[in-house]
Chains A and B, each alone.
Chain A
Amino acid sequence: ETGVTQSPTHLIKTRGQQVTLRCSSQSGHNTVSWYQQALGQGPQFIFQYYREEENGRGNFPPRFSGLQFPNYSSELNVNALELDDSALYLCASRRQGGVQETQYFGPGTRLLVL
């Protein structure tokens, strides 16, 4: 158990819809990152939040957005869903400090877009 939880575990949407995925970080962790993992691929970085501010973004369009709350839980929102958005979405939390900190991953949300 990593102490990172995600909800829902599975989700089916249709093209054009919007979706919100949730993540609860491990206690004491102030940084959360979201990753998209397509089938047979490694996770791809979407964005990162530190103390409720986005402080890093991968090569994903603006329709992917997020929020981090004061209790360090977070959301990933995807608007105008496309078929290629079907993937496993992973969140990872860590305590950002002055040294390399290990990221701990949640179990993921599997999204299917029809």
Chain B
Amino acid sequence: NAGVTQTPKFQVLKTGQSMTLQCAQDMNHNSMYWYRQDPGMGLRLIYYSASEGTTDKGEVPNGYNVSRLNKREFSLRLESAAPSQTSVYFCASRDDSLNTEAFFGQGTRLTVV
């Protein structure tokens, strides 16, 4: 059972570089989420997608873009990375029609220097 798969697991970027974090789920879930986690801050929602083709801003969307091209995949893009975006990023998915729990990927540790 793959569940939620995130790539890459680790990444170092220089300030101003761009990159895309990939996330895919094989559980046929409608909702997908991107969070960032910083020390002492808990998980903060960046963007979420309730269904294919729809996205909504979360608590901390600035500096990020997302794309939900199909039901399985939800990508997060940093167009011009900044040191403040150094964080651990988690992708999650959920079947919210059943009001059940969310399942998480293993995370991406991103450092922007």
A and B bind: no
Give residues in B with beta carbon < 8 Å to A: none
Give residues in A with beta carbon < 8 Å to B: none
